[in-house]
Amino acid sequence: MILITGISLILYALLKWVDLDNIDFLLKYVVFNSSSALYRPKFLRKSFVCDYEANTMEYPWIDNRSRSAKSLKTYCSKIANPIKDWKKATLHLSFSLLLLYIAHELRAYATHGRLEKHWQRLYQSNTKKIFHGLQLIYRKQQSLHASKRYIWYILVGCDTYINPPYFLKQLEPYDFMQPYFIGGSFAEELCYHKNKTTYRSQFIGGNSAHVFSTALVETLYSHLSPFVETVWPQPNHSSAAMSDIALSCLIISLGYKMTILSSFMRRSSKGIIEEFGLKNALRVREPSSWHYIHPLQMIDLDEFYAYHDVDRLMNDQKWMELVDFIRLLIGTHYETLRKHQPLDSHKLVRHYK
């Protein structure tokens, strides 16, 4: 605590006299230089979460946390956690990924009776909502300037955790101007012709993620409504709600192939360990997504990865990226706090006495 406070005071004093354009020099050669009095390797940990030996992981000024950060340690043995060699994604998050969440996992929380029947109606209409929704979103995107349009569409369940920086890096080798259909797992199931005869075909499972390049969505656009309204089985049919199979059947019938990426995990880390073993869970250095994740687990995972990203940037001494990360985290924090505030709050402030 004394060390951190001392560094903060010295940084503040230096920043008062140093031009902000020189902050990179200040961080790299004054504060964190190995020969500097402010830099001592013994004060840095390779992994804040995994190498922390104290009985509690809270900083001294964080008391009474409802969920101790010590609980994050359980991920250290279940998820690959490289401590260095961070590579920043070249794709920009703001205009790269359009995340489309589908809430078809609500059945787990439905009870018998009326609520179960209501869920069945929602679930049966799942495929139509996705097909028509994809059309609607694509039309909306076309109304924007080309520089503002998303280049990848990602369809995931509401119980799927996405790590955007890792996800972006996985998509870098692929050209969004080419029709790509990407996922994490595949199987075989029945597809339908317009006359309702069936044939077997592979499909990308919705238990990881469906990723469409903008070129693929452009090609699919005119086929989405006809396929879901006249080819795919309608509600009350056993296949009606199988949106992952329906999308795959349409895309493959148009002559496009699947691309499978191992970083799109089909289960939680615990589920993969139970089904395939620990080695399989640790095989991917930077997992892009995890499936079957409870909302509380998503918060834990996000906190774990946030600490982890800071560790890697510090160990690589990429100080300006660390500063950018901290600023992004601060900005996101305050934007989240403002979400339930009135949009015209400036008027309220102006009249406040």
The whole-angstrom separation of Cα 110 and Cα 123 is: 12
Domain locations along the chain: 93-260
Helix (H) or strand (E) holding 50: none
Q: How many residues does the chain have?
A: 353
- Average pLDDT over every residue of 97-124: 50
Residue 231 one-letter amino acid: V
Residue 168 one-letter amino acid: L
How many other C-beta atoms can be found within 10 angstroms of the C-beta atom of residue 325? 17
What is residue 69's predicted lDDT score, i.e. its pLDDT? 64
Instruction: Give me the residues paired with residue 152 across strands.
Output: 97, 213
Per-residue model confidence as pLDDT tens digits over 114-168: 444 544 556 667 788 889 989 999 999 999 898 888 889 988 888 899 998 898 8
The whole-angstrom separation of Cα 131 and Cα 243 is: 8
The encoded tokens of residue 222 equal 């005119």
CA dihedral 314, 317, 322, 324 (to 10 degrees): -170
Tally of CA atoms within 13 A in the half-sphere of 93 that contains its CB: 10
What is residue 10's predicted lDDT score, i.e. its pLDDT? 41
What is residue 51's predicted lDDT score, i.e. its pLDDT? 80
The whole-angstrom separation of Cα 274 and Cα 281 is: 10
Burial of 271 (0-12, 13-18, 19+ CB in 10 A): middle
- Average pLDDT over every residue of 311-320: 90
Return the percentage of the chain with pLDDT > 70, whole number.
Answer: 69
Per-residue model confidence as pLDDT tens digits over 167-176: 888 998 999 9
- 259 vs 1, 189, 248, CA distance in Å? 49, 17, 12
Reported as a pLDDT band with limits 50, 70 and 90, residue 107 is: very low
**Would you tell me which CATH number, out of the four given (2.60.120, 3.40.1350, 3.90.550, 3.40.50), belongs to the domain 93-260?**
3.90.550
Between residues 343 and 219, which one has the greater pLDDT?
A: 219
Cα angle value 277/281/284 (rounded, 5°): 145
- Average pLDDT over every residue of 220-237: 90
Closest by CA position to 292, among listed 320, 272, 312, 263: 272
DSSP state of 257: P
Instruction: Please tell me the pTM assigned to this model.
Output: 0.77
What is residue 222's predicted lDDT score, i.e. its pLDDT? 94
Closest by CA position to 28, among listed 13, 41, 16, 38: 38
CA dihedral 288, 258, 173, 94 (to 10 degrees): -60
What is residue 16's predicted lDDT score, i.e. its pLDDT? 45
